[in-house]
């Protein structure tokens, strides 16, 4: 198949920042792209060859869009899986597959998949509705503290809450959910695995994530993780096992906890380019976005090694600001060595909305972390 400067068409479901960064790579290779997104102001509107507006959860919108492309991929999990399944039946290549997405979309089925495939994960219970949890607590079937997770549509800290007492259950949506035992952990780690349909598989170096204490969003992604070689090896092996269990094609970001005893357990996975891989654009020989394109088109996978140590800082809307975005002090951070801002193209900011990220590369990870702190303290995502 000739993908380059040809009639081949790659379809992308979702037009957000991940899609925008994918389009940088498709434009580099002159691969024709078609994007579907519900918003007329989606970041992908600018970089795609064709842009369509439609609801990603609507069967007809997804099916009719998918019929027009040769290979269909995603930048967001919340898409109509029935449409993808029917597209596969008429010969459209869909990566990741509808089967994989169906499992991953629901946190309860995702957790059961880990158990069925002997993949390490935290003990959990599933509930049809949040209101059922109180009964489980009163009859001794569930003990504090635990983590409540909405089974569907949770992201970036929404749909997740640590429950330490009964009143923490108040104001939670009454939806299908799971509860997980609260695991004391040393580190949150992630490994991105790339796999193509021919079965070639590669992993990126293990990253460590530092979180914002209130927003439950990643503040820093540090690559390579500051962990022992033995822990890094264990994390990589678990990530590879997960990708092979899913028979995954594309990128699979495997988020994990390093426990107090240095065991590795899977928190959750994302079957697409991921926040924990943004530093690869500047720090790696092959960015995660180029790798995703290579993987879904069954091209040889690129080198995943680091050229330099990399740290990624998320740019999120400051509290108390909603409206037309201004990146205050962006010139200051651009004057720092090894610092590259990425602006996603969202015109409106609001508290904690992901508006961009900044990559810091340096030969010394300690120095990189110091610069990252300066970046974090300098730039502000505000309004006029």
**pTM given for the model:** 0.95
Same structural domain for residues 167 and 196?
A: no
In a domain, 234, yes or no: yes
**Are 213 and 154 in the same domain?**
no
Query: Are residues 236 and 205 part of one domain?
Result: yes
Residue 247, pLDDT score: 96
Query: Is residue 88 pLDDT above 70, yes or no?
Result: yes
Evaluate whether residue 232 is within a structural domain.
yes
Query: Both 58 and 151 in a single domain?
Result: no
Do 364 and 275 belong together in one domain? yes
Peptide bond into 145 cis (omega under 30): yes
Report the half-sphere exposure of 310 (CA within 13 A, side-chain side): 25
What is the CATH number for 153? 3.30.1490.20
Question: Residue 197: exposed, middle, or buried by beta-carbon count in 10 A (0-12, 13-18, 19+)?
Answer: middle
287-308 pLDDT, tens digit per residue, is 999 999 999 999 999 999 999 9
> Is 107 annotated as belonging to a binding site?
yes
Q: Are residues 273 and 236 in the same domain?
A: yes
Q: Give the residue-averaged pLDDT of 219-237.
A: 97
Instruction: For the beta carbon of residue 193, count every other beta carbon within 10 angstroms.
Output: 26
Q: Is 134 annotated as a binding residue?
A: no
pLDDT one-digit tens code per residue, 190-216: 999 999 999 999 999 999 998 877 766
Question: How far is the C-alpha of 172 from the C-alpha of 223, rounded, in Å?
Answer: 35
**Domain of 58?**
9-94
For residue 43, being part of any structural domain is answered with yes
Q: Is the per-residue pLDDT at 347 higher than 80?
A: yes
Tell me: is residue 268 an annotated ligand-binding position. Answer: yes
Residues 356 and 337 occupy one common structural domain: yes
Q: Tell me how many degrees the CA angle 313-120-149 measures, rounded to the nearest 5.
A: 60
Query: 78 and 205, same structural domain?
Result: no
The per-residue pLDDT of the chain, averaged, comes to 95
pLDDT digits (tens, 9 = 90+) for 105-136: 999 999 999 999 999 999 999 999 999 999 99
What are 77's two structure tokens? Answer: 């999990």
Predicted pLDDT at 22: 98
* Biggest CA pair distance of the chain: 64
- 156 band by pLDDT with thresholds 50, 70 and 90: low
| Count of domains observed in the chain | 3
DSSP collapsed to 3 states, 26-63: HHHHCCEEEEEECCCCCHHHCCCCEEEECCCCCHHHHH
Q: Does 189 reside within a domain?
A: yes
Same domain, 252 and 351: yes
| 350 or 183, higher pLDDT | 350
183 labelled binding-site residue: yes
Tokens at residue 125, please?
């219970």
Residue 85 lies in a domain: yes
DSSP class per residue in 199-210: --EEEPPPEEEE
Statement to judge: residues 172 and 192 lie in one domain: no
* 129 plus 175 within the same structural domain: yes
Domain-located, residue 110: no
Q: Is 149 within any annotated ligand binding site?
A: yes
Q: How confident is the model at residue 158 (pLDDT cuts 50, 70, 90)?
A: confident
pLDDT, tens digit, for every residue of 266-291? 999 999 999 999 999 999 999 999 99
pLDDT at 204: 98
Q: What CATH number should be reported for the domain holding residue 56?
A: 3.40.50.20
CATH code of residue 289: 3.30.470.20
pLDDT at 73 over 80: yes
> Do 194 and 163 share a structural domain?
no
Residue 99 within a domain: no
Does 267 appear as a known binding residue? yes
End position of a domain, from candidates 75, 94, 113 = 94
Query: Which residue did the predictor score with more confidence, 170 or 325?
Result: 325
How many angstroms separate the CA atoms of 270 and 306, rounded? 22
């Amino acid at each position: 198949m000739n993908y380059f400067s040809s009639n081949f068409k790659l379809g992308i479901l979702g037009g957000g920042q991940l899609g925008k960064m994918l389009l940088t790579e498709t434009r580099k290779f002159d691969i024709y792209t078609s994007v579907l997104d519900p918003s007329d102001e989606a970041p992908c509107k600018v970089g795609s060859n064709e842009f369509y507006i439609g609801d990603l959860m609507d069967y007809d919108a997804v099916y009719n869009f998918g019929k027009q492309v040769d290979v269909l991929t995603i930048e967001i999990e919340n898409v109509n899986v029935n449409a993808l399944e029917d597209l596969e039946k008429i010969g459209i290549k869909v990566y990741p597959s509808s089967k994989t997405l169906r499992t991953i979309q629901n946190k309860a089925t995702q957790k059961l998949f880990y158990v069925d495939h002997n993949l390490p994960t935290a003990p959990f219970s599933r509930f049809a509705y949040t209101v059922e949890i109180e009964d489980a607590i009163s009859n001794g079937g569930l003990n504090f503290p635990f983590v409540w997770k909405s089974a569907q549509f949770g992201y970036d800290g929404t749909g997740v809450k640590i429950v330490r007492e009964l009143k923490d259950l108040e104001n939670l949506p009454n939806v299908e959910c799971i509860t997980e035992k609260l695991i004391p952990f040393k580190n949150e780690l992630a490994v991105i695995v790339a796999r193509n349909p021919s079965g070639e598989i590669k992993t990126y170096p293990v990253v460590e994530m530092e979180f914002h204490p209130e927003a439950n969003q990643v503040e820093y992604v540090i690559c390579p993780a500051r962990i022992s070689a033995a822990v890094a090896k264990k994390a990589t092996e678990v990530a590879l096992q997960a990708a092979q269990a899913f028979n995954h094609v594309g990128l699979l970001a495997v988020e994990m906890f390093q426990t107090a005893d240095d065991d590795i357990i899977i928190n959750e996975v994302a079957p697409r380019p991921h926040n924990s891989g943004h530093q690869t654009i500047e720090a790696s020989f092959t960015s995660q976005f180029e790798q995703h394109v290579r993987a879904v088109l069954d091209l040889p996978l690129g080198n995943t090694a680091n050229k330099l140590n990399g740290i990624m800082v998320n740019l999120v809307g400051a509290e108390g600001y909603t409206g037309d975005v201004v990146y205050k002090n962006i010139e200051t951070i651009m004057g720092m060595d090894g610092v590259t801002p990425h602006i996603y193209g969202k015109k409106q900011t609001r508290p904690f909305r992901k508006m961009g990220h900044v990559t810091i590369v340096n030969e010394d990870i300690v120095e990189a972390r110091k610069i990252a702190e300066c970046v974090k303290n300098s730039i502000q995502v505000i309004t006029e």
